[in-house]
Amino acid sequence: SKDKSGIDQVLLHNPRGASVQVSLHGGQVLSWRTERGEELLFISSKAIFKPPKAVRGGIPICFPQVGNGSLEQHGFARNRIWVIDNDPPPLHPNDSNGKAYIDLLLKPSEEDLKIWPHSFEFRLRVSLAAEGYLTLISRIRNINCKPFSFSFAYHPYFSISDISEVRIEGLETLDYLDNLFQKERFTEQGDALTFESEVDRAYLRSKDVIAVFDHEKKRTFAVRKEGLPDVVVWNPWEKRSKAIVDLGDEEYKQMLCVNGASIEKPITLKPGEEWTGRLELSVVPSS
């Protein structure tokens, strides 16, 4: 199928009727639905479905830079058109039962090489398990003759009932860099993270499972990550939302970004080396 600006999208279904929609624009997951048809990811009603800007919502991929720096904000991968690999390597036999998957590929264009002179091959595998969980596996290979370094993040926007009703567990006692205070380093003091104003933090070296509890919707998201030591937590809140053109003024209440990322220490690949970063999202009912 195609989206509003004519860009191809791929729809994955599992045997129970859960689904995932992936756009070739950015390799971005735009929808993840349960077997009952409930949407689990947030997309702004003001989202712009047109390159060269990433869609506001879903799961943008930030590569080769997270945040600001010498490249465009969050790197160029999320703004490029990816291609489908029609002959992807098979799933592992132990892991193939009822799983639907697609592999997308990104290679730098000549223009990309001018702004970031490192040849790479990026393979993104998006899969939907029979049980409904969503897995993203990124494999980035250095096909250059020199080493290069990058930072990386999966930037999921979870759909939530109300930002004032959610809490995150798994970040207790960690150090974080606060983007609202010039990346100053603080230590988390609270038991669980709740929200009453803008939050934009990179929690460093977290454990590999983070939970987002949504009391009103009575569901919990589990974020499992591998190869991604850090976790960015972002909610723009009222004032900042007004400055974001592709986000409605009140929509911050229905979204929360909890990322798997590698930010503090850049990843370095020697020629021929490959890096893998994995994110697995699942949802369970809770009381």
Residues that bind ligand TA6 (CB under 6 A): 54, 67, 73-74, 155, 179, 200, 232, 234, 257
Looking at the DSSP bridge assignments, the partners of residue 230 are: 261
Distance CA 191, CA 51 (A): 40
Q: How far is the CB of 208 from ligand TA6 (least distance, A)?
A: 19
Q: Is 224 annotated as a binding residue?
A: no
Q: Is 73 annotated as a binding residue?
A: yes
Nearer to ligand TA6, 49 or 101 (CB): 49
Q: Is 78 annotated as a binding residue?
A: yes
Nearer to ligand TA6, 33 or 155 (CB): 155
Q: How far is the CB of 238 from ligand TA6 (least distance, A)?
A: 15
Phi/psi for 48 (5° steps) reads -110, 115
Nearer to ligand TA6, 40 or 199 (CB): 199
Nearer to ligand TA6, 155 or 219 (CB): 155
Distance CA 212, CA 133 (A): 15
Residue whose structure tokens are 């010498």: 70
Looking at the DSSP bridge assignments, the partners of residue 187 are: 175
- In degrees, rounded to 5, the angle at the alpha carbon of residue 107 between the alpha carbons of residues 202 and 270 is 65
Q: How far is the CB of 46 from ligand TA6 (least distance, A)?
A: 12
Q: Answer for the pair 204, 262: CB distance below 8 angstroms, yes or no.
A: no
| Cβ-closest position to ligand TA6 | 234
> What tokens appear for 150 in the block?
């990058």
Extract the annotated binding site: 56, 73, 78
Output the known binding site for substrate: 56, 73, 78
